Amino acid sequence: MDNGIKDKVVAITGASSGIGQATALLLAGSGAKLVLGARRQERLEKLVGQIGEAGGEAIYRLTDVSQRTDLAALVELALERWGRLDVLVSNAGIGPISPLDELRVEDWEAMIDINFKGFLYGIAAALPVFRRQGFGHFVNVISTAGLKVVPLQSVYAATKNAVRTVAEGLRQEAGDKLRVTSVSPGFVNTEFADSMTNETVKAQIIEQRDRMALPPDAIARAIAFAISQPADVDVNEIVIRPTAQG
């Protein structure tokens, strides 16, 4: 029985841990062919090996989404190996949040480069391919931070809201052949705090994460749900939070 995922070629950024890794494992188990991108080669190699040992198909390329050429190469790898790309999951992101008064401008720039420009570079790489094919699906991992702006997260939320805005414009321009899905997770048990340069804020986020965060699998299931729908069904927005998150 067709599960809507089997044999689809899916590229995932930020695939070496957290939501990206969980999504890769879930989709591979459902028969997808995966093209994995991230900056940590050892983790990518281990993940590809794990998928292969379980009978799945996956390849990888070192990918820094702040570099447009890296996104182009990731998409090209899918075309070289399988001749098409069905889905691009734009998942890579960082969140070095802090009070604006601290003027951590380098952190701001990094969030813009990775969270927003990396998403745009994904569109630039995949959209022409999807148009030529006559099908394709953009899945964008955003954040509930863009839905509820709170102190310390101004710039982070701004990058996520920028993605949300462009994704909605993309959905409206996509026509009746392409699909666009935005998934906004709340607290998830990932390495999100690792990028934080303010140690006090980092400790606060880790405490909240350990207290109530969802496992990455919960977000992976939401992504798989959207991908598995028939071609004429476009799941546009999914918001998923821990029950305990306000």
Helices in 38-181 by DSSP H: which ranges? 41-53, 68-82, 105-111, 118-133, 154-173
> What would you measure as the largest C-alpha separation in the chain, in angstroms?
56
Cα–Cα distance for residue pair 196/241, rounded to 1 Å: 21
CA distances from 94 to 91, 122, 205 (A): 10, 16, 13
Torsion of CA 52, 228, 13, 222, to 10 degrees: -110
156 is catalytic: yes
Angle among Cα 57, 39, 203 to the nearest 5 degrees reads 115
Q: Which of 108, 119, 121, 156 is catalytic?
A: 156
The CB density around residue 7, as the number of other CB atoms within 10 Å, is 12
Terminal Cα-to-Cα distance of the chain (whole angstroms): 40
Name the β-bridge partners of 57.
33
Cα–Cα distance for residue pair 177/33, rounded to 1 Å: 21
Q: Known catalytic residues? A: 156
